[in-house]
Amino acid sequence: MIYIDERKKAFFLEGENFTYAIDVSDGYLRHAYWGKKIERDDIDQLLFDHPAGYVVAIEASASGRGSLETLPQEISFFGLGDYRTSCFKATGEDGGKVFDLKYDSFELLTEKPSYSDLPMLKGGETLVVRLLDAAKRLELKLYYTVYEECGCLTRHAEITPLGGTVFLERALGFCVDLPDCGYDCITLYGKHSCEAQIDRQALGHGEFSVSSCMGISSHVHNPFMALAEKHATENAGDVYGFGLVYSGNFFLSAQTGEFGTIRVCGGINPLDFRYRLREKESFVTPEVLMTYSECGLGGMSRNFHRAIDRYILKRGVPPIVANSWEATFFDFDTKKLFGFIDGLKELNIDTFVLDDGWFGRRDSDRTSLGDWKVNTKKLVGGLEPVINKCKENGLKFGIWIEPEMISEESELYTLHPDWAVKSKFLKPRTSRNQLVLDLTRKEVLDYLKSTFYALLKNHDISYVKWDMNRPLTEFYSAGLEKENQGEFAHRYVKAVYELADYLTRSFPDIYFEGCAGGGGRFDIAMLKYFSSVWASDSCDAEERCRIQYGYSYLYPLKTVSSHVGASPAHQTSRSIPLESRCNVSAFGAFGYELRLDVLPQEEREFIADYNLFAKQLRSVLAEGELFRTENPFESKFTGFIVMNRQKTKGYGLFYQSKTSYGDGIKMIRLRGLDPKKKYSVPKFGVCAYGSTLMNMGIQHKTTNTDYQSVLYEINEAEND
């Protein structure tokens, strides 16, 4: 709901449990309030010009003491006396960098605008606030869309020069100035095979930021940030969450100001960003998904999950897959794949996925990226015999691709060496023995569209794993003019969106999964095209507990691709029981990365039964709500519960890491139940009211063995 008081120039954006209020002060757009739902009062009487020394006054200030340095703002500009982080900076034709953008007007749209080259959440009623430069040289529109039932809103901006060409040098699409209440800042950091690690630290003086300059959102920092009250927990306390809908170079900042405010802003990383805009040519920023929760971090996550599920994700249930990569790597032929596929029969698996190595002369990672023709020496008769073998065993067929990459040892590079991203003067730097294709060039993008359209059109493929195994370097395109080179990184990611949009629209029945060496490009924007993302190249269940827990702060677990790996794990050499590996992976998009055909019969029978159970859990995970019960970053336990929205059925995981002598008894307190309903939990042999199970909990005797777990079912029982 959006309510507008035109006389007072005040705007109330309201969800079921929150209010976001803005108004106009001295001609500038002021952030008035964001938090628990309030009445539509005269908010101006509660706010005033903050008297302060050594600040630059706003000329039109009613008191003569108002300053942009003390004004809580919705968007900030360079060079006007606000010395906190600026959202926008541009240089005009005369070299001037100062634009004084003030409130001009508003518009209320019945439908949120969509853009062909930038993914955004679908939406309805949208507030557009127009700001105009005093000399009418620049226009800035701020877009606000409310998702009432999700507790969320989105924001993005559109900037248009009205009086000649400008060069845009900063484009952070949102800014929120909150009162400093001693918040902790929470972010997700990591590295390859160790993504989404939770960092929580008190905000001190100065600026704290996370960013990427790799051309992708990166393993190092996820485009997510939250501010939490000092004592906010999983289930209580005020939390503000921010998730950028962007897959490229990003920047998120929380800055403690000198006058009792915290500024959160974010968008495209300003590093090496310079975008030329000719007169009346518009630039649209990536949007941010924002939420407020008074129910702690758990409430924040459920708000995010509802919004992403309903307004970003495509519908569809993730299949249980068996992927060939860790089972065979590059060492396979038709005969070996036939044996692997025959070994999947009667295991209740949905899809076999043929990973890297099926094309060109691809027997190692040194060659053939770009040559997307089947290696018929390795796969006699091409893909069709493999696809037919899958059908004989009741399976669908999936395939791995890496569209954005090129090998120097390839036919494509021999024909088009200029298609690679590289400097004119330096030897290009490889990673995993590969270079990046310059997708900003139309001929490259057209080649990829036609190549992969033909592959998917000519074969019965139901699943695609889209990989991207290196970051960008050299950030230069032979297809761009000198004045446009600072646009390369942003143009690249928009080209990725264009290619992904083209293929997913052309083949709506194919399940697409994203990957970038694991979670190197796991963000909300990619979920517009990919139903899940391969979260990490680590299949070690111990590591996966933390990785999946971290990702769940922002992303629904059904989007977190999680497969059962071998034991010992390839990445850590850690040995973990099969049941625990399955239990952890089942709380995600489930599958396998090991030689299932050579497992002992006892383990194969266990897997066959487990997959039937996993399909039941999958249906609840697809539409249910997540509750985290044990934090692996704070203890040796991990706990998840997912309940359907009717609160009649759910599943829970309790995982124990390292054991210690005399650990004894652990009380497992359930979450997400109706306190007045009775529930049975057969695994523990109990039947009790929700209030009892959530407060008293279930007594569980921990084991004296490492890496043990229990996955339990929760069912509504007959109530007295």
Cα four-point dihedral sign 319, 324, 325, 326: positive
Q: Are 127 and 2 in contact (CB under 8 A)?
A: yes
Residues 6+ apart with CB under 8 A from 541: 565, 569, 576, 580, 581, 583, 584, 585, 655, 707
Residue 142 backbone phi and psi in degrees, to 5: -110, 130
Q: Which of 467, 523, 540, 597 is catalytic?
A: 467
Q: Cα 466 to the chain's mean position, in Å? A: 16
Strand ordering across the sheet containing 2-5: 2-5, 10-14, 18-25, 28-36
Compute the distance between CA of residue 238 and CA of residue 626 in angstroms, rounded to an integer: 19
Concerning whether 720 is annotated as a catalytic residue, the answer is: no
Collect all residues with Cβ–Cβ distance below 8 Å to 589 and sequence separation of at least 6: 318, 513, 531, 532, 558, 559, 560, 561, 562
The DSSP result for 562-582, as a single string, is EEEE-SS-TTT-----HHHHH
Helix (H, G, I), strand (E, B), or coil: what is residue 502?
Answer: helix
CA distance 154 to 126: 9
Within 519-654, where are the H helices? 541-551, 578-586, 601-623
Residues 624 and 648: their CA atoms lie apart, in Å, by 11
Residue 621 DSSP SS3: helix
Clarify whether 537 is annotated catalytic.
yes
Q: What's the order of all strands across the beta sheet hosting 88-91?
A: 88-91, 166-171, 275-277
Of the residues 82, 177, 537, 540, only one is catalytic, namely 537
Main-chain phi, psi angles of 323, to 5 degrees: -100, 140
**Cβ atoms of residues 559 and 622 within 8 Å:** no
- Burial class of residue 569 in the structure, from the number of CB atoms within 10 Å of its CB (0-12 exposed, 13-18 middle, 19+ buried): buried
- Amino acid identity of residue 1, one-letter, is M
CA dist 622 to 317, 391, 645, Å?
7, 26, 11
Residues acting as catalytic residues: 467, 537
